[in-house]
Chains A and B, each alone.
Chain A
Amino acid sequence: METKTDHREVLIPRTSLVQNINVWKIGKSWISKIILILFAFAMLYPLYWLFVSALKTNQEFFENPYSLPIHWVFDNITRAWELAGMGKAMINSTIVTLAAMFLTLLLGTLTAYVLSRFEFRWKGPLMLFFTLGMLIPIHSTLVPLFMIMNKIGILDTYWSLILPYTAFELPIAIFLIAAFMSSIPKAIEEAAMIDGSGYWGIFFRIMLPLSFPVMSTVAILAFLRYWNEFAFALVFINDQALKTLPLVLTIFSDGFGTDYSLTMAAMAIAVLPTIIIYLFFQEQIMKGMVAGSVKE
């Protein structure tokens, strides 16, 4: 990913001809730069429009939908928070996301430790078994999972989201963490083994702390996935008091259909945490998502 600095350019004699070419080249690169920046703004436009509309009154939204607000109003945000139960939805999303993240990290590191450090007969088939899960289209499990969870009585509880979220994220988590653990030298564990630490001790006191860098990547990816997840929440949660953010947003946009700036404010509340995380951890998110998708 490093840039290769081009040393040859220094060696080119600066004749007038070359300089002419350079002027043309610089001009061209500026034009392409400007086009690229315009393209970037076009990509960001829907998000810009969302935040700008969230801070307008409805009247202004209809009168000049595309300009910056003349009167900035934060009233929509507070109204969305109270009226639509965005506060409650935020709490639900936080509980489900954190619990699933905790389970994913704990089980993911534990499994990755076993797969990356020990040889046993079923290791190969087991890896294949986990790969298989990444090929299964998630939506094809909605109906059977609904029926299964209905049968065992966890439908319409936090668990009906926490457990499937964890299950579907585990393969990616395991592969990312196992790849990282394989690069940790074995000498550290061997020393601990001689000191009389058991396997659990080595896992909790050595491997887990050493894996923090990759765990943070897995945690961020899992956070984004769980926070934004919609299909499972739509099917498995019916209780108004348990609904997560994406679910509440869809109901909200139906119910307050014409109160656009209110709906926009509710959406702004929901996306703000993910955007903040993105601004802080961009590189990690990009690399992690790419590594995760290529593994699939």
Chain B
Amino acid sequence: MGTTARLKGFIILALLPTLLIYTFFVIVPIFWSAYYGFFDWSGMGDAKFTGLANYIEVIKDEIFWRSLKNNFIIIAASVFGQVPIALVLALLLMKNSFVNRFVRSAVFMPMVLSTVVVGLIWGYMYHPQIGVVNYVLKSLGLESLTRAWLSDPKINMFSVSIPIIWNYIGPYLIIFIAALQNIPSEINDAAKLEGAVGFKKLYYVTLPMIWNTVKVVIVLCIAGSLKAFDQVFVMTGGGPAQSTELLATYMYNNTFEVYRYGYGSAISTMIVIVSMILILISQILMKRKNQ
């Protein structure tokens, strides 16, 4: 009895600080913003209850839908950019040779860089006058292809996607390499005996063997690209004329630039809902295809 009471006391005391910090800073904010979405508050004075007004305004705002669409562009660019690149590289870099290790660490390196620095460097690289992108095009004689990469609303969403793709290939590459190295050597031997080589082997043997990993990576990729904010915020701030607005930059600009905390709370709640729906859908789709 004495020891169980002591154990109980220890467990409670050991878990308490973690639970307090975690609940207060991670969980409470979700409910807080859902609640304050019903109020109008400018940061000073009293908050005024306005019912569903903020939520309705968000849904009616064309910019909200554009931001959502832009988020989907980032997700699509990540899934169709990062996953194939990581997979092809993993097939080429599977063996642990010196050169392969070097290439792997080069591909992974952007992961440790500050996202602000990534945004700033790419911002310079896209610069119409001093940027390397236009410079290379000019020196290749492709003058007609040079443009203002970040300000032309027709292409700037794709321009901001490239640094994000570049930034996050690393972990997917490592996951794919681990999966490929885990394929039992008997299976490779059997494939060789059956005469499956090259693309045939890739399609009939290798891909099916790592298909579950591919699915996990796609789910991770969707969840990861939902978090995109820093690079785009630094490169364009959501502009020009809100053409590169993401849900997170839209939330930021509507809250901290114009001091509408109630409206910002409503957008935050929408971000949570959108994220949860997307994560749920991607999980369900992945499980269904499994059967």
Q: Which A residues fall within an 8 A CB radius of B?
A: 1-4, 8, 32-33, 36-37, 39-41, 43-44, 46-47, 49-50, 61-62, 65-66, 103, 107-108, 110-111, 113-114, 118, 120, 126, 129-130, 132-133, 135-148, 163-164, 166-168, 170-171, 174, 198-200, 203, 224, 227-228, 230-231, 234-235, 245-247, 249-250, 253, 260, 263, 267, 270-271, 274-275, 277-278, 282, 285-287, 289-290, 293-294, 296
Query: Which residues 140-196 of B sit at the A interface, judged by CB distance below 8 A?
Result: 166, 170-171, 174-175, 178, 181, 185, 189
Query: Which residues 19-58 of B sit at the A interface, judged by CB distance below 8 A?
Result: 21-22, 24-30, 32-33, 36
Q: How far is the CA of A201 from the CA of B106 in the complex (A)?
A: 44
- Which residues on A sit within 8 Å (CB–CB) of B248? 137, 139, 231
How far is the CB of A110 from the nearest CB of chain B, in Å? 5
Q: Which of B8, B125, B223 contacts A46 (CB 8 A)?
A: B125
B121 within 8 A of A: yes
Q: Which of B28, B116, B275 contacts A250 (CB 8 A)?
A: B116
B290 within 8 A of A: no
The answer to whether A294 and B216 touch (CB under 8 A), given A118-B11, A143-B251, is: yes
Contact A140 B132 (CB under 8 A): no
Contact A65 B25 (CB under 8 A): no
The answer to whether A141 and B103 touch (CB under 8 A), given A167-B21, A277-B112, A293-B171, is: no
29 contacts between A and B (CB under 8 A): A1-B178, A4-B185, A32-B92, A40-B106, A46-B166, A61-B130, A62-B130, A110-B15, A111-B18, A118-B11, A126-B15, A129-B27, A130-B22, A133-B26, A135-B275, A136-B275, A140-B33, A141-B25, A144-B29, A146-B255, A148-B24, A167-B24, A171-B22, A203-B14, A246-B116, A249-B120, A267-B117, A274-B112, A293-B220
Contact B220 A36 (CB under 8 A): no
Query: Which residues 189-240 of B sit at the A interface, judged by CB distance below 8 A?
Result: 189, 216, 220, 223-224, 226-227, 229-230, 233-234
- Which residues on B sit within 8 Å (CB–CB) of A250? 116, 120, 234
Q: Which of A40, A132, A140 contacts B102 (CB 8 A)?
A: A40
Q: Which of B10, B25, B115 contacts A200 (CB 8 A)?
A: B10
B110 within 8 A of A: yes
Q: How far is the CA of A110 from the CA of B27 in the complex (A)?
A: 20
How far is the CB of B118 from the nearest CB of chain A, in Å? 8
The answer to whether A132 and B27 touch (CB under 8 A), given A44-B109, A120-B11, is: yes
Contact A282 B105 (CB under 8 A): yes
Q: Which of B22, B36, B122, B216 contacts A167 (CB 8 A)?
A: B22
Q: How far is the CA of A146 from the CA of B25 in the complex (A)?
A: 10
Q: Which B residues fall within an 8 A CB radius of A?
A: 6-8, 10-11, 14-15, 17-18, 21-22, 24-30, 32-33, 36, 89, 92-93, 95-96, 99-100, 102-118, 120-125, 130, 132, 135, 166, 170-171, 174-175, 178, 181, 185, 189, 216, 220, 223-224, 226-227, 229-230, 233-234, 247-248, 251-252, 255-256, 261, 264-265, 267-269, 271-272, 275-276, 279
* CB-based closest 4 A-B pairs: A167-B25, A40-B106, A144-B29, A144-B32
Contact A65 B135 (CB under 8 A): yes
Contact A36 B103 (CB under 8 A): yes
- Which residues on A sit within 8 Å (CB–CB) of B272? 136-137, 140
Contact A275 B99 (CB under 8 A): no
Q: How far is the CA of A164 from the CA of B122 in the complex (A)?
A: 29
Contact A249 B21 (CB under 8 A): no
How far is the CB of B197 from the nearest CB of chain A, in Å? 11
In chain A, what residue has the closest Cβ to B31?
A144
Q: Which of B93, B107, B220 contacts A294 (CB 8 A)?
A: B220
Q: How far is the CA of A201 from the CA of B279 in the complex (A)?
A: 42
Contact B224 A293 (CB under 8 A): yes
Contact A228 B115 (CB under 8 A): yes
How far is the CB of B162 from the nearest CB of chain A, in Å? 11
- Which residues on B sit within 8 Å (CB–CB) of A61? 130
- Which residues on B sit within 8 Å (CB–CB) of A126? 15
Contact B120 A145 (CB under 8 A): no
Contact B106 A43 (CB under 8 A): yes
In chain B, what residue has the closest Cβ to A274?
B112
